Amino acid sequence: MNKGIRASQVRVIGSAGEQIGIMPIEEALRVAGEESLDLVEVSPEAKPPVCKIMDFGKFKYEQTKKKQEAKRKQKITQIKEIKVRPKTNDHDLETKVNHIEKFISKNDKVKVTMVFRGREFMLKEQANVILDKIVVMTQEFAQVEQPPKFEGRVITMLLGPK
């Protein structure tokens, strides 16, 4: 393979990982052809560029496997959203806290959103009391990652697992 190689001389690494040396591209391709392998450029920025003699198909397959393995080990955290209102009852609040506990037990983060409609905007103190109740009710299994933040007609707070 001669894709991307622009220099006349390249540093060649053998199929077993040994340094073969600096040689013209044509000779490096001939050496790779004798071994029935490909000449792959691994470091194009180096002076001279570094090429390795390897089975390119096997190399691409192993890279794909490594990516899949890394993806499998990756931990995905989702952000779930719970909406409350300034006039939410205590019983409804308990139900919402149960949902928060369920989400946090699955290692998800929970965004608690309080939406104001119409004249409810005047009930900011009541809204802060409700958000404080949520924090107190969830303190055993959750911690506040982002304190309540006011954005227009919405207050948001982020809870995460302890």
pLDDT the model gives residue 15:
86
Same domain, 90 and 107: yes
Based on the structure, what is the number of domains in the chain? Answer: 2
Whole domain around residue 155: which residue ranges? 79-161
Same domain, 83 and 155: yes
One digit per residue, pLDDT tens: the chain, 162 residues?
A: 445 555 689 999 998 889 989 999 999 999 999 989 999 888 888 888 999 999 999 889 989 999 999 888 877 778 999 999 988 888 999 999 999 999 999 889 999 999 988 888 787 888 889 999 999 999 999 999 999 998 888 999 999 998
Same domain, 93 and 125: yes
SS3 state of residue 5: coil
Same domain, 22 and 45: yes
**134 Cβ contact list (under 8 Å, min separation 6):** 84, 93, 96, 97, 100, 112, 157
Domain assignment present for 89: yes
Which run of H or E residues covers position 28? helix 25-34
Same domain, 89 and 150: yes
Domain assignment present for 2: no
Same domain, 84 and 60: no
pLDDT the model gives residue 111:
95
Nearest partner of 114 among 162, 158, 160, 161, judged by Cα: 158
Alpha carbons 84 and 72: distance in angstroms, whole number: 35
pLDDT the model gives residue 126:
87
**81 Cβ contact list (under 8 Å, min separation 6):** 110, 111, 112, 113
Radius of gyration of the chain from its Cα atoms, rounded to whole angstroms: 30
pLDDT the model gives residue 136:
93
Give the CATH number of the domain where residue 59 resides: 3.10.20.80
Same domain, 155 and 100: yes
Same domain, 118 and 153: yes
Domain assignment present for 13: yes
Give the CATH number of the domain where residue 141 resides: 3.30.110.10
Alpha carbons 150 and 146: distance in angstroms, whole number: 12
DSSP per-residue string spanning 54-86: E-HHHHHHHHHHHHHHHHHHPPP--EEEEEE-T
